[in-house]
A = this chain, B = another copy of it.
Amino acid sequence: RQSLKIGMLPADGIGREVLPGAKAAILALGSSIPKTEFIDLLAGFEYFTKTGTALPDETVETLKNECDCALFGAVSSPSRKVTGYSSPIVALRKKMDLYANIRPVKSVSVNPEGKPGVDLVVIRENTECLYVKQETQTVGEHGKEARATRLITERASRRIGELAFKMALERPHKHLTVIHKSNVLSITDGLFRETVRAVPTLPGVDGKYDDVTVAEQLVDSAVYRLFREPEIYDVMVAPNLYGDILSDAAAALVGSLGLVPSVNAGDSFVMGEPVHGSAPDIAGQNIANPLAAIRSAAMMLRHIGYGDGANRIERAVDSVLREGKVLTPDLGGKSKTSEVVDEVTKRI
């Protein structure tokens, strides 16, 4: 690549405060990555309230036709039912076919409330389950009745399963836990479970995953055990909604959602996204933790082939955390968002 074009979608709330930090970290890499252009793109709930659309077509077109990758901030949720509104992040994942949401969660020493020994990755299927948003409402004898469809396909389960085995193989423990609730959803979660477990027997795999040990757990008991003995987890693979819940649960273990990055990845595009939300309660105060966004930028860069740059960013973040002097309030510190960003970029 001669140059790099990164779509920037800050969206709402603290999304707008943390994305500049991610940009600063990428810029701090200087000439070790190609000349980078950042393209600001519109999306979000606030944008919806102004225009009636949460994700303009132009944003999707620009991502598809001009960008090499993207960073998303966070999106606010309406506090009342709002006709016509549909989450732009869910739509983006689907429209860009970003079928995997990869969420690594690792203990840090700075937070006394965090648990030690957490080092896991949640791999969340990102395109189906209840997120297909096929919902209807009718009026029956006893009032309104609403129905949503939960879709699980063999194809989506297989590709997320393949990714999960591949990632497990790359990690020291090579352990994969398949999350489901097939004691209730025997057909949908049954299909997910069986398709994922069958990955090692696919044609062409040829024993490649022989070193991966596989376990499985019901989602309710997975959340329980995640709190009680997080060290049993390495890679967890889950249908969309369970993955959403599990990754927040894992983030709580390490002390702050403000630390947990993710990428939404497809076969031809990747979009970094901090796991936290738009946090309206702290927005506008310059105290949001930028580290999840900065780490998401690193993951995104690694995904498109700039592993060295990603490592430099991640090492800088780790060293700021280890030192524990310049931290935002969620980690017990007193520093501003911008101060943390400066501290990280200085070390890149």
A interface residues, Cβ below 8 angstroms from B: 77-78, 81, 85-87, 90, 113, 130-131, 133, 135-137, 140, 142-155, 158, 181-188, 190-191, 194-195, 218-221, 223-228, 241, 244-245, 247-249, 251-253, 257, 277
Q: How far apart are A164's CB and chain B's nearest CB, in angstroms?
A: 18
Looking at the complex, which one of B85, B225, B277 makes contact with A186 (CB distance below 8 Å)? Answer: B85
A155 to B141, CA, bound (A): 10
Question: Which residues of chain B come closer than 8 Å to A223, judged between CB atoms?
Answer: 223, 245, 248-249, 252
Question: Which residues of chain B come closer than 8 Å to A85, judged between CB atoms?
Answer: 186
A81 to B195, CA, bound (A): 12
What 7 pairs across the A-B complex have the smallest Cβ distances? A227-B252, A143-B154, A135-B187, A77-B183, A142-B155, A144-B154, A224-B248
CB of A78 within 8 A of CB of B183, answer yes
Looking at the complex, which one of B87, B185, B257 makes contact with A184 (CB distance below 8 Å)? Answer: B87
CB of A145 within 8 A of CB of B140, answer no
A18 to B226, CA, bound (A): 25
Looking at the complex, which one of B87, B191, B221, B245 makes contact with A144 (CB distance below 8 Å)? Answer: B191
CB of B145 within 8 A of CB of A154, answer yes
Question: Which residues of chain B come closer than 8 Å to A184, judged between CB atoms?
Answer: 87, 90, 130-131, 133
A159 to B216, CA, bound (A): 35
For residue A241, which residue of chain B has the nearest CB?
B181
For residue A253, which residue of chain B has the nearest CB?
B227
Tell me which of A87, A142, A220 has the highest count of chain B C-beta atoms within 10 A of its own C-beta. Answer: A220
CB of B191 within 8 A of CB of A219, answer no
A225 to B276, CA, bound (A): 12
Question: Which residues of chain B come closer than 8 Å to A220, judged between CB atoms?
Answer: 244-245, 247-248
Known contacts: A81-B194, A244-B220. The answer to whether A185 contacts B148 by CB under 8 A is yes
| 17 residue pairs from A and B, CB less than 8 Å apart | A77-B182, A90-B184, A135-B186, A136-B187, A137-B187, A137-B191, A143-B155, A145-B152, A146-B151, A146-B152, A146-B187, A146-B188, A148-B187, A220-B244, A223-B223, A224-B248, A225-B252
For residue A223, which residue of chain B has the nearest CB?
B249
Q: How far apart are A178's CB and chain B's nearest CB, in angstroms?
A: 12
Question: Which residues of chain B come closer than 8 Å to A81, judged between CB atoms?
Answer: 182, 186, 190, 194
CB of A153 within 8 A of CB of B136, answer no
Looking at the complex, which one of B140, B143, B145, B252 makes contact with A224 (CB distance below 8 Å)? Answer: B252
Q: How far apart are A274's CB and chain B's nearest CB, in angstroms?
A: 14
Tell me which of A142, A144, A184 has the highest count of chain B C-beta atoms within 10 A of its own C-beta. Answer: A184
CB of A191 within 8 A of CB of B146, answer yes
Extra pairs beyond A149-B150, A223-B248 (4, CB < 8 Å): A77-B182, A219-B245, A224-B252, A249-B249
Looking at the complex, which one of B146, B218, B244 makes contact with A77 (CB distance below 8 Å)? Answer: B218
Question: Which residues of chain B come closer than 8 Å to A245, judged between CB atoms?
Answer: 219-220, 223, 245
Q: How far apart are A31's CB and chain B's nearest CB, in angstroms?
A: 40
For residue A251, which residue of chain B has the nearest CB?
B224
Question: Which residues of chain B come closer than 8 Å to A155, judged between CB atoms?
Answer: 142-143
Q: How far apart are A139's CB and chain B's nearest CB, in angstroms?
A: 9
